[in-house]
Amino acid sequence: MTPQSRNAVIRSELDQLLRSGDIDGTTYRNLSELYPVTSWDWCSLGRWFLVFGAISFAAGVAIFVRDIFDFTLEKLAASLAGAMVTLFMSGQWLKRRDWRMIGQSLELVAAFALIGLSFVLGTIYSTGSGDWPTLLLIDFAIILPASYLLCNKQLLVLSSVLLFIWFGGRTGYISGWGAYWFGMNYPLRFVAASGGIVAMGFAHMMGEGSLLSRYRGFAKIWISVGLFLGEMALWLLSIFGNFELIDGPWYKAGIGELILFNGLWALLNVALIFAGSRLSFRMLTGYGATFLIIQVYTLFFTHLAEGFGVVGSAFTAGLSALVLAFVLEKRRRNRVVANEKADI
């Protein structure tokens, strides 16, 4: 293990101790200065290249086989089942030989094969209902437990994506855009769901210090998924208001309604920045800062840009982006210098 990767592990443990209340802020800062993390995370970059490579390779093989052989749906289902089993067993074999990252990537591709298999079987045995979200729900019910049994964060990310698509499909497309779910219209459904997912994520995080210690880091995925759902829903609400009929008459939100949702969105992002800085939870700070900037640009282009004209709005947006990049880069350089001094 390199010094940088060792420091990253120690910093992650210190973050967890601070969030659980085992150490105070002063102790956390003093210990963190002893373990600076300044270099590029090549391990993380390599992980994503592995995932991309594995998926691309599987897609290439599938296209090649399709061009060579004349597949029926039944043959395709059998091939996907065989590929799923082969990929899963290969992933297990590699993990036992300490090729954990590649093994987990193969397990992820096996999960994609499972999703493909479910849709092929759904086509073969279709009753004409068009209820495609149920297939994703079945996949979610299989992949989520598998992510915990195999301790595979990549599978957990995939299961969270399946949950997002299923939730949107079930509460939106299948039920009809105007149908209510617990009395809420489409965007507010995601706001409510995101709050529940974030709460579950923090409860998961509290358990990672004891009962769920084997799954340390899984909570961040759940929290990230919940925040993303909530942020995107509030983004829509801040622009269009509390709409309910996507295919009906255009809903024109009043200024008071837009101010309300913009205020709630800004309040959420400021709270995330504050909580992230207090808890040393950089993901919260990142979400809050990113979407606060998105909100400012959204307000500019939806309410002010027309008055500036095309040239003026482009110049203003570009200049502000350059200033923002300069400020962020300056802060990053100051942080690097401070860490280097602490390391000395």
pLDDT in tens, 4-59: 566 667 777 777 777 767 777 777 777 776 666 555 454 555 556 666 676 677 67
Q: Which of 117, 51, 105, 46 is nearest to 80 (CA)?
A: 117
**pLDDT, greater one: 196 or 174:** 196
Say yes or no: 190 and 161 in one domain. no
> 208: which DSSP letter?
T
333 and 206 within one domain: yes
| Residue-level pLDDT at 223 | 93
314 has a pLDDT exceeding 80: no
Q: Count how many domains the chain has.
A: 3
Instruction: Let me know whether 5 and 49 are in one domain.
Output: no
Last residue of a domain, one of 175, 201, 226: 175
Residues 158 and 239 in one domain: no
Please give the pLDDT value at position 107.
92
**49 and 171 inside one domain:** yes
Structure-model confidence comparison of residues 169 and 61, the more confident one: 169
Q: How far apart are CA 31 and CA 28, in angstroms?
A: 5
Euclidean distance between CA atoms 215 and 197, whole angstroms: 17
Dihedral over Cα of 223, 228, 231, 237: its sign: negative
Task: Mention every residue, 6+ apart, whose C-beta is less than 8 A from residue 298.
Answer: 235, 238, 239
**Are 198 and 330 members of one domain?**
yes
- Check pLDDT > 80 for residue 152: yes
Identify the DSSP state of 245.
-
Q: Are 117 and 263 members of one domain?
A: no
- Same domain, residue pair 139 and 253: no
Determine the pLDDT at residue 236: 85
Residue 36: its pLDDT value, please?
61
Asked which of 156, 175, 194 is the last residue of a domain, the reply is: 175
Is 221 found in the same domain as 74? no
Tokens of 174: 């299948």
- The Cα–Cα gap between 117 and 80 comes to 6
- Has residue 92 got a pLDDT over 60? yes
Length of the chain: 344
What pLDDT, on the 0 to 100 scale, is given for residue 321?
Answer: 60
**What is the CA 209 to chain-centroid distance, rounded?**
23
* CA angle in degrees (0–180, nearest 5) for 195-197-201: 115
97 and 63 in a common domain: yes
Cα–Cα distance between 258 and 301 in angstroms, integer? 15
Domain that holds residue 120: 42-175
Q: Is the pTM of this model over 0.85?
A: no
The count of other CB atoms within 10 Å of the CB of residue 316 is 14
- With a cut of 70, say whether residue 228 has pLDDT above it: yes
For residues 9 and 216, the answer to whether their CB atoms sit within 8 Å is no
Determine the residue type at 124.
Answer: I
| Same domain membership, residue 289 and residue 306 | yes
pLDDT band, residue 277 (cuts 50/70/90) = confident
Domain finish residue from 148, 175, 202: 175
Closest CA to 180 of 247, 132, 253, 244: 244
Same domain, 35 and 141: no
